[in-house]
Structure 1
Amino acid sequence: MKHRRLALAAAAALVLTGCSGAASGSPEKGLDDPANKDIAMQLVSSAENSTLDWKAQYGYIEDIGDGRGWTAGIIGFCSGTGDMLKVVERYTAERPGNALERFLPALRAVDGSDSHEGLEDAFTAAWAKAAADPAFRSAQDAERDDSYFDPAVERAEADGLSALGQFIYYDAYVMHGYADAVGTVGFRTIRAQAVAEAEPPSGGGDEEEYLDAFLDARVAAMREEPAHSDTSRVESAQRVFVREGRLQLETPLVWKVYGESYRIDGS
């Protein structure tokens, strides 16, 4: 990955060593470390798909009633927010004549709405079937990285955040998007509210205090949307990791989302 690693304060490093049992001086790994990225995807999948098997979600598609139309794929690309359109455009550039290409005009027409017009059963069937094509899976991976994972990790690194903080930013990007939209509060506003309450580590602040402030702002944003009013994704998962001091996503990670329990053990 392209991101430049930012060093955290020595005191934070001591806390991390004590929690993880790693040898003194062991280098910290960010969310773009392959093992951490896989953990991040499992955590997101537990909330988005009620399973840790995120690699089985490329063909997932349903309307979850959140006003964003179809929600689909590994992080919940939506027909109403433009990222589903980008996935199909990427796929078509790599695989011209694929079964989803004919739905591009309809995807462009419904962008910004919850409409299914032109995207009925034939579309959902084509999406599910396309999941068997490596080019379609690669298109989803690329859109995830370019629009969500990479910018979230880059912003978190600039704020001096550890792997856990980077994940917390990434999950907020996935659910809320970067900017505010009608009826929603985006990542940019959530972060601004957090910075107003607590200094991030890059400014000399305590990371756990800052992450608590960010999660407070995120919970408030979630409660603005009836479809996302269940805040267990934060309160019984991410908040737990912060309070346990698992700043490097040290396993085992144990959490609950929407009443279901999950666990990731170390390799």
Structure 2
Amino acid sequence: MKRALLTALSVVVALAAAGCSSASGNEEAAGLASPAKKEIAQRIVASAENGTLDWRSAYGYIEDIDDGQGYTAGIIGFCTGTHDLLTLVEEYTEDHPNNGLARYLPALREVDGTDSHEGLDPGFRAAWKAEAKRPEFRAAQDAKRDEEYFDPAVRRGERDGLSALGQFIYYDAIVYHGPGDGPTSFGGIRAAAMRRADTPAAGGDEEKYLAAFLDVRREAMGELHPGHDTSRVDTAQRRFLDAGNLDLDTPLEWEMYGMPYKVA
């Protein structure tokens, strides 16, 4: 799927939330679905998608970032041009038919697959921000994120024998590239990586496989968006991998679009 450069103030963000301190014992090797690791995953993705570690502040985010995918919105960068925002609003409207976004469904169906705002301007952005104040819509965003991105990434990573870091690398790739099988989608990237190195489940070395996956993904990012910043690979995931931090243990430090972040 997706998205690219978001500007932000160049500050060091250091957040230490409950459950995100370095773990010990069995928690140390917990997969990405454990509550502490999942919280870390959302923070790292939010640094790329929204320029913040406070991912919960992004429910009301909406902007056209000129990536050819229309409006990018919410906690995971749902897009009007990539079908996930449309299905989110459709499913939310089934449960909450009188919501403030329902009247935009005909326009959302028309612009799906394009970068057009036709029928959405001038009111859609304000309606999204207003709806994001409702706990029901925030819960719907959480559920859609897990259904389409987080849970499939974790399941695929577990079947491939990957650690928490490997599962996160899959998750971020699905968020950015989408879950399809094309050469620049997650499935195509994974297939190309497996031609270069075996997964741990196939008897391969995890660090070698993840390095191959990141190489392929970086190439796919360049094909999708030539010239766009690839720091979510270069100065975040690659940094964790080079440090041998397969369990994605804190403290974690990385840079995103030149901006430093830390989870302590």
TM-score of the superposition, structure 2-length normalised? 0.88
**Alignment size in residue pairs:** 243
**In the alignment, which residue of structure 1 is the partner of 2:207?**
208
**In the alignment, which residue of structure 1 is the partner of 2:242?**
243
1:230-249 deviations in whole A, cap 9, x for unaligned?
A: 11110100001011111111
CA–CA distance in 2 between the matches of 1:58 and 1:105?
A: 22
CA–CA distance in 2 between the matches of 1:139 and 1:38?
A: 17
1:127-173 deviations in whole A, cap 9, x for unaligned?
A: 01111101101111111111111111111100000011000000000
- Aligned runs of 1:107-122 on 2, under 5 Å? 107-122=108-123
CA–CA distance in 2 between the matches of 1:27 and 1:176?
A: 29
Per the TM alignment, residue 87 of structure 1 is displaced from its structure 2 partner at its CA by: 1.3
CA–CA distance in 2 between the matches of 1:226 and 1:239?
A: 20
**In the alignment, which residue of structure 2 is the partner of 1:34?**
35
**In the alignment, which residue of structure 2 is the partner of 1:219?**
218
**In the alignment, which residue of structure 2 is the partner of 1:256?**
255
Per the TM alignment, residue 27 of structure 1 is displaced from its structure 2 partner at its CA by: 6.7
1:11-50 deviations in whole A, cap 9, x for unaligned?
A: xxxxxxxxx7844x66721111011111000000000111
* Aligned-partner SS, 2:255: strand
CA–CA distance in 2 between the matches of 1:35 and 1:26?
A: 9
**In the alignment, which residue of structure 2 is the partner of 1:174?**
175
Per the TM alignment, residue 204 of structure 1 is displaced from its structure 2 partner at its CA by: 0.9
* Aligned-partner SS, 1:255: strand
Verify the 8 A CA contact 2:23 2:249 in the aligned structure 1. no
Structure 2 stretches lacking a partner, 5+ long: 1-21
**In the alignment, which residue of structure 2 is the partner of 1:59?**
60
Q: 1:173 corresponds to which letter in structure 2? A: I
* Aligned-partner SS, 2:260: strand
Q: 1:215 corresponds to which letter in structure 2? A: L
**In the alignment, which residue of structure 2 is the partner of 1:14?**
none
CA–CA distance in 2 between the matches of 1:253 and 1:80?
A: 33
Verify the 8 A CA contact 1:180 1:188 in the aligned structure 2. yes
CA–CA distance in 2 between the matches of 1:220 and 1:229?
A: 11
* Aligned-partner SS, 1:224: helix
Q: 1:64 corresponds to which letter in structure 2? A: I
**In the alignment, which residue of structure 2 is the partner of 1:159?**
160
Q: 1:46 corresponds to which letter in structure 2? A: S
Verify the 8 A CA contact 2:47 2:256 in the aligned structure 1. yes
Which structure carries more relative contact order (alpha carbon 8 Å, separation 6+)? Answer: 2
Per the TM alignment, residue 121 of structure 1 is displaced from its structure 2 partner at its CA by: 2.3
Query: Structure 1 stretches (4+) deviating beyond 2 angstroms?
Result: 20-23, 25-28, 225-229
TM-score of the superposition, structure 1-length normalised? 0.88
CA–CA distance in 2 between the matches of 1:143 and 1:209?
A: 32
1:207-244 deviations in whole A, cap 9, x for unaligned?
A: 11100000000000000123672111101000010111
- Distance change (3 Å), C-alpha of 1:44 and 1:26: closer
* Aligned-partner SS, 1:262: strand
Q: Does 1:138 pair with 2:147?
A: no
**In the alignment, which residue of structure 1 is the partner of 2:50?**
49
Structure 1 stretches lacking a partner, 5+ long: 1-19
CA–CA distance in 1 between the matches of 2:45 and 2:28?
A: 25
Q: 2:220 corresponds to which letter in structure 1? A: A
- Distance change (3 Å), C-alpha of 1:198 and 1:95: same
Worse-matched range after superposition: 123-132 or 184-193: 184-193
CA–CA distance in 1 between the matches of 2:131 and 2:243?
A: 41
**In the alignment, which residue of structure 2 is the partner of 1:13?**
none
Worse-matched range after superposition: 84-93 or 222-231: 222-231
- Aligned runs of 1:9-20 on 2, under 5 Å? none
